[in-house]
Amino acid sequence: MRQKIAVIGGVASGPAAAAQAQRTNPDADVVLFEKGPDISYGACELPYFLSGQIPCADTLVVLTPQAFEQTRGARVRTEHEVLGIHPKRCRLDVKECRTGRITEERFDKFILAIGARARLPDIQGCEAPNVFVVRQLDEARRLKRAFDDVRHAVILGGGYVGIEVAESLRTLGKRVTLLEPHGLPLHSYLDKQHQRIVADELKKHGVTVRRERAVGVETDASGTARAVRTDHGELVGCQAVIAAIGTVPETTLATRAHISIGATGAVAVDAHMRTSLPNVWACGDCIEVQRVIDGKAVYRPLSPSAFRTARVAGTNAARRGRGPRARFPGVVGASAVKVFDLEAASVGLQYNEARACNFDAFTVRLSGTSRVSFYPGAQPLHIALTVERTTGRLLGASLVGQEGAVWRANVLVACIYDRKSVADIKDLDLIYAPPFGPSIDPVIAAARAATKQLGRPTP
Amino acid sequence: MRQKIAVIGGVASGPAAAAQAQRTNPDADVVLFEKGPDISYGACELPYFLSGQIPCADTLVVLTPQAFEQTRGARVRTEHEVLGIHPKRCRLDVKECRTGRITEERFDKFILAIGARARLPDIQGCEAPNVFVVRQLDEARRLKRAFDDVRHAVILGGGYVGIEVAESLRTLGKRVTLLEPHGLPLHSYLDKQHQRIVADELKKHGVTVRRERAVGVETDASGTARAVRTDHGELVGCQAVIAAIGTVPETTLATRAHISIGATGAVAVDAHMRTSLPNVWACGDCIEVQRVIDGKAVYRPLSPSAFRTARVAGTNAARRGRGPRARFPGVVGASAVKVFDLEAASVGLQYNEARACNFDAFTVRLSGTSRVSFYPGAQPLHIALTVERTTGRLLGASLVGQEGAVWRANVLVACIYDRKSVADIKDLDLIYAPPFGPSIDPVIAAARAATKQLGRPTP
């Protein structure tokens, strides 16, 4: 009998999993369900759609449902919401959104790729029509349509999305206030001193950063948000509020099916992307993944691992015992953001997180230049390495600079996978040519400085 | 008795070795000998001094002899040429260049950092005053002073220096003909298809590349070079000839002292930078180093390993049995060059070299984009991975593109050190953010394509 595979969720990991399942078993009947109208689009690029740098939302759509069916072979049902899965009975409940009609269909295997949603602050007034989040294509489209009426926007949260949207709005000449209760942006990603550099860059480009928490949204008679009330008792008047306080995995469907949820609040899976139920796999932004540094399950809803876990889930759901079982090796946890003229990159564990995870860690900071200091265009580059004292192993890094921060972070990603010590990293044969980097790269210099610290008693 | 250490050669590795020896044993009397007037300068930056991008030669000098003595503690003797070393007798013969006076001095340990010289073609006419090489600071100064009289220059050799000097001369509006007997530039560094891309870039910017070899330099009555004669019987008229056909290790002093020379023609050393004679170490561009890929001794006169081997030599010469012995882990062999608007990078072994070294290798080529394809500024990026068929291990890579080639090469440097297979590389958690790279990076995509090839029978 023809194997039937249901993939639930159509944004990024869903289409990747469906395509991979179809490739793995060309005879299978793979169906991709998506409750919205679009599939296969890039959510990470939405801030650049807002700013107009990516002029048309349609370019974010990698494949239309039609193109997907033609090129990938799997079937697509948009505007179909899956309400429940019953793997034991090989059944799935699906609602056709336009008609509301609910039907039951037979499937052998299920892949959950239901993604995540933007977290909304638990404060009054958030239901106002000019309180926005930037997660889905239609949400971004709605925000962009509202721009004409916006002179001043308040952004809640100084993480990646908050910073990217702040830059987009400043590009369009809007006034922007960013409320970050921790005071400094990117506080869980970067070294403390690097957070200050990012804060200065935001300030330099006209973003007002305030160490305040939103406690309410004030609305006018028509229900429109007019100001944000903060925990300092201040009112910040605005024509739009954008909440960028994080991401919550979608788990309703999993919970309903009695699939285990991990300590992070996301769907728990093993390295083969199996959930706690037989014949159910999961991938993308709804799952937690293993961090290679310490084996801990973490929630890191980022695009590269979404695609990678999707391929693993797709392969394993469709392989029917043939061919090698696919395995996901885990994540280092690396990310980066452009902050106006600055690159900021984060790899692995920063000092505070390392200590919280019981590592005997120390941090070495160094400032160098992106290229040979006297070559035109050379810029300061700041690097902080967090190192395990007992082994010298690199646990994490923070890098900030006008150029050259992200690529150096990527080199360190490769090093962390291999549990490299700073003593090894200092000897890496990195390329030298004047236009690209100094003869002794800041990465090498920082690893050298860290190596010197090793073996010294804790100060 | 106070330990006396002689470091011979003052350009790059010499000062580094002397400084490191002095750090390792602050009581030692470390003396740095240099026959020229300058020490501690960047030779790799000379092409950018020629073009005027680095306006003043003095900025290339990292430390003057005075500043070096003050900050590093070691003594410096410029314009002193070491004629011979006699480690058994603890003696060194040195000539004061200004007076010609030769004296014998006592030293306990010797570090050879005598570097390399530009290879001159073995053809008639090369002694003409307007036949240049670009290796030493004074050679570059001499060439730059001659620029006013140059409308058309002929460059011999399409390696890194040839390309960099061609770009410098074009920047200044000179006509440039580059003679490369292999036809395509960078032929021993890049994948064949990437060589073509570089050739097109040179052509686009007005450099005439000819598949011809110089067989003679024609001079006029005053002895000035007026044309280059090629193996096609052509005469290429010019006002300057620049030879950029490679680098030869300086070994006269080593040979005179009966120190072993390796198969590459450079001084043979072990991983601790010991030569074949007791109490003599060597470092920098005069030595051969071990390639980590296959353990083979190779001659790779590049700045980063010059500095690194210098530190190892300096430590080991001065440590007197105390502290850990320093060790040089070898090189991957990675390099890059800017070719007008292009970056070209080379890592490890390319296909032909891998086959010549008896690897059962294959090459996978892929073209992607430097950033998300629809993000402003995204550029084509070309990558070729050379892989060992039996193990899947990455042996080498070639990358070319307007941006993003060099940093990806550096990530692969780290991978080659760890003998990573392409199956591992495809799972690297590289950073994704639209301004910096696509969601599925070309490195990942190429590693995936290579992984698919593994296990297939040789076509």
* pLDDT tens sequence across A199-229: 999 999 999 999 999 999 999 999 999 999 9
The DSSP bridge partners found for residue A63 are: none
A41 to chain B: nearest residue by CA? B439
The whole-angstrom separation of Cα B338 and Cα B445 is: 24
* pLDDT tens sequence across A113-157: 999 999 999 999 999 999 999 988 888 999 999 988 999 999 999
Closest CA to A217 of A150, A140, A130: A130
B340 to chain A: nearest residue by CA? A435
- Residue B272 CA to its chain's centroid (Å): 21
Give the gyration radius of chain B's Cα atoms. Answer: 24
Q: Which pLDDT score is estimated for A455?
A: 64
The whole-angstrom separation of Cα B349 and Cα A306 is: 33
Q: Are B292 and A428 in contact (CB under 8 A)?
A: no
**Sign of the CA dihedral running A345, A348, A354, A356:** positive
Q: What are the pLDDT tens digits along chain B (459 aa)?
A: 899 999 999 998 999 999 999 999 999 999 999 999 888 887 888 888 899 888 887 888 888 999 999 999 999 999 999 999 999 999 999 999 999 999 999 999 999 999 999 999 999 999 999 999 998 888 899 999 998 899 999 999 999 999 999 999 999 999 999 999 999 999 999 999 999 999 999 999 999 999 999 999 999 999 999 999 999 999 999 999 999 999 999 999 999 999 999 999 999 999 999 999 999 999 999 999 999 999 999 999 999 999 999 999 999 999 988 888 999 999 999 999 999 999 999 999 999 999 999 999 999 999 999 998 888 889 999 999 999 999 999 999 999 999 999 999 999 999 999 899 999 999 999 999 888 988 889 999 999 999 999 865 544
Q: Are A182 and A158 in contact (CB under 8 A)?
A: yes
Which three-class secondary structure state does DSSP give residue B360?
Answer: coil
Instruction: Please return the burial class of A100, using the count of CB atoms within 10 Å of its CB with bins 0-12, 13-18 and 19+.
Output: exposed
The DSSP bridge partners found for residue B363 are: B386
For testing contact with chain B, the best of A429, A439, A441 (most B CBs within 10 A): A429
Token pair recorded at residue B256: 């005179």
The whole-angstrom separation of Cα B411 and Cα B180 is: 31
Main-chain phi, psi angles of A230, to 5 degrees: -110, 170
Which residues, other chains included, contact A77 with Cβ-Cβ below 8 Å and sequence gap of 6+?
A31, A32, A33, A34, A94
The whole-angstrom separation of Cα A219 and Cα A221 is: 7
- Residue A294 CA to its chain's centroid (Å): 20
The whole-angstrom separation of Cα B130 and Cα B242 is: 8
B407 to chain A: nearest residue by CA? A407
Q: What is each CA distance from A93 to A106, A267, A394, in whole angstroms?
A: 9, 20, 48
Question: How many Cβ pairs closer than 8 A exist between chain A and B?
Answer: 174
Q: Which of B328, B409, B431 sits opposite A336 (nearest CB)?
A: B431
At which residue do the structure tokens 């973490």 appear?
A: A298
Neighbours of B131 (CB within 10 A): 22
Min distance B142 CA to chain A CA atoms (Å): 21
The whole-angstrom separation of Cα A77 and Cα A98 is: 12
Q: Are B115 and B11 in contact (CB under 8 A)?
A: yes
Q: Which pLDDT score is estimated for A322?
A: 83
* pLDDT tens sequence across A259-305: 999 999 999 999 999 999 999 999 999 999 999 999 999 999 999 99
* pLDDT tens sequence across B96-142: 999 999 999 999 999 999 999 999 999 999 999 999 999 888 889 99
B335–A431: do the CB atoms touch at under 8 Å? yes
Q: Which of B45, B333, B411 sits opposite A411 (nearest CB)?
A: B411
For testing contact with chain A, the best of B431, B443, B454 (most A CBs within 10 A): B431
Q: Are A39 and A76 in contact (CB under 8 A)?
A: yes
Which residues, other chains included, contact B173 with Cβ-Cβ below 8 Å and sequence gap of 6+?
none
| Residues of B in Cβ contact (< 8 Å) with A409 | 431
Give the gyration radius of chain A's Cα atoms. Answer: 24
For testing contact with chain B, the best of A58, A298, A312, A431 (most B CBs within 10 A): A431
Residue type, A122: D
Q: Which of A42, A334, A424 sits opposite B431 (nearest CB)?
A: A334
Q: Which of B160, B328, B428 sits opposite A417 (nearest CB)?
A: B428
Q: What is each CA distance from A337 to A189, B203, B458, in whole angstroms?
A: 11, 37, 43
Q: What is each CA distance from A55 to A39, A61, A303, B92, B377, in whole angstroms?
A: 19, 13, 22, 72, 14
Q: Which of A54, A302, A308 sits opposite B374 (nearest CB)?
A: A54
A305–B429: do the CB atoms touch at under 8 Å? yes
The two beta strands, B247-249 and B116-118, are: antiparallel
Q: What is the ipTM of this complex?
A: 0.90
The helix (run of H) or strand (run of E) holding residue A46 is: helix A46-50
| Residues of A in Cβ contact (< 8 Å) with B423 | none
| Residues of A in Cβ contact (< 8 Å) with B292 | 429
Residue type, B341: D
The whole-angstrom separation of Cα B241 and Cα B129 is: 10
A346 to chain B: nearest residue by CA? B431
Q: Which of A345, A374, A431 sits opposite B409 (nearest CB)?
A: A431
The whole-angstrom separation of Cα B285 and Cα B307 is: 10
- Helix, strand, coil distribution of chain B in percent, nearest 5: 25, 30, 45
Main-chain phi, psi angles of A355, to 5 degrees: -65, -40
B433–A44: do the CB atoms touch at under 8 Å? yes
The whole-angstrom separation of Cα A60 and Cα A424 is: 41
B304–A410: do the CB atoms touch at under 8 Å? no
* pLDDT tens sequence across A312-323: 999 999 998 888
Q: Which pLDDT score is estimated for A24?
A: 95
Q: Are A199 and A214 in contact (CB under 8 A)?
A: no
The helix (run of H) or strand (run of E) holding residue A312 is: helix A303-318
| Residues of A in Cβ contact (< 8 Å) with B435 | 48, 338
- pTM listed for this prediction: 0.92
Token pair recorded at residue B295: 């353990």
Evaluate if residue A459 carries a pLDDT over 50: no
A303–B432: do the CB atoms touch at under 8 Å? yes
| Residues of A in Cβ contact (< 8 Å) with B60 | 374
Average pLDDT, chain A: 94
- Residue B374 CA to its chain's centroid (Å): 37
Q: What is each CA distance from A390 to A58, A386, B323, in whole angstroms?
A: 52, 12, 19
pLDDT band at A40 (very low <50, low <70, confident <90, very high): confident
Neighbours of B436 (CB within 10 A): 25
Q: Which pLDDT score is estimated for A392?
A: 96
Token pair recorded at residue B328: 């040089």
The whole-angstrom separation of Cα B141 and Cα B61 is: 13
Closest CA to A364 of A382, A381, A376: A382
Evaluate if residue A78 carries a pLDDT over 50: yes
**Sign of the CA dihedral running A159, A165, A171, A177:** negative
The whole-angstrom separation of Cα B128 and Cα B125 is: 6
The whole-angstrom separation of Cα B182 and Cα B158 is: 9
Token pair recorded at residue A53: 């740098």
Q: Which of A424, A427, A433 sits opposite B44 (nearest CB)?
A: A433
A374–B45: do the CB atoms touch at under 8 Å? yes
pLDDT band at A57 (very low <50, low <70, confident <90, very high): confident
The DSSP bridge partners found for residue A352 are: none
